Amino acid sequence: MNEEYRQQDIPTEFHSYATGAPFSHCIECDRSLENMEYFIEKAIRTYPGYDATDVIFELAICIQCAEAVRKSMSEDSQLKIAEYMQANADASRQIYVINEYPDSPDKWTANCLITGKSKNAVSEYQIYAHCHGDQLIPDIMPYMISGSVLDELSQLLSNKTLGEMDNFMGRHFGPPSLEKDLPRHRTILV
Ligand SMILES: [Zn+2]
């Protein structure tokens, strides 16, 4: 890890809702995350006007598996996502917020990386963190992306990539159903 960054525990927002504890294993290969570099992703539904939220899905994935998922996406999709992020993500604001408020992790994910909209103003959002063992790797992550942006991103993806994403979601969270109401065609690891 880069020495210029201070060590940061993983904020509780990024703990597993299912277990109440930090994520311990990779969703894909089931390897222990104790000494591993990995990503956390959680999708949350909000009810504007109410405090209640639901976790739609959550996962931790080791860097090797994340890389394999990325490679399963078509090159065209990878390029389009990279271009979209390059053009639209406010990386400098995000890094500023993380550095300026090192003790307020809630601020890091308070606003959409792309639109700047606050969590309270969106009906769905996803949060992402980059970790090593029980510590955060602070770079542009952690960040939050609102559901409308994820919908826009999924419009950019090829059918091959959408199929791969659906396979991944189906493998780990079951087939899409009305009850579970999993968002379809969701990009993991934006
Ligand atoms: Zn893995």
Residue pLDDT tens, the chain, 190 long: 444 556 789 999 999 999 999 999 999 999 999 999 999 999 999 987 788 899 989 999 999 999 999 999 899 999 999 999 999 999 999 999 999 998 999 999 999 999 999 998 999 999 999 999 999 997 899 999 999 999 899 899 999 998 888 889 889 988 766 555 555 556 666 6
Ligand 1 centroid, distance to 64 Cα (angstroms): 6
Please report, as a single letter, which amino acid is at residue 56.
Answer: I
Cα three-residue angle 35-38-39, rounded to 5 degrees: 150
Please report, as a single letter, which amino acid is at residue 94.
Answer: Q
Q: What was the pLDDT predicted at 106?
A: 93
Ligand 1 centroid, distance to 26 Cα (angstroms): 5
Ligand 1 centroid, distance to 101 Cα (angstroms): 31
- Cα 179 to Cα 51, 56, 95, 129, 174: the distances in Å are 22, 11, 38, 28, 12
Ligand 1 centroid, distance to 70 Cα (angstroms): 13
Q: What was the pLDDT predicted at 67?
A: 93
Ligand 1 centroid, distance to 67 Cα (angstroms): 9
Ligand 1 centroid, distance to 180 Cα (angstroms): 25
Q: Judge contact between 57 and 182, C-beta under 8 A.
A: yes
Ligand 1 centroid, distance to 120 Cα (angstroms): 33
Q: What was the pLDDT predicted at 2?
A: 46
Going by C-beta distance under 8 Å and a sequence separation of 6 or more, which residues neighbour residue 190?
Answer: 81, 85, 126, 128, 145, 150, 153
Q: What was the pLDDT predicted at 43?
A: 93
Q: What was the pLDDT predicted at 63?
A: 96
Q: What was the pLDDT predicted at 186?
A: 64
Ligand 1 centroid, distance to 21 Cα (angstroms): 19
Please report, as a single letter, which amino acid is at residue 189.
Answer: L
Ligand 1 centroid, distance to 96 Cα (angstroms): 31
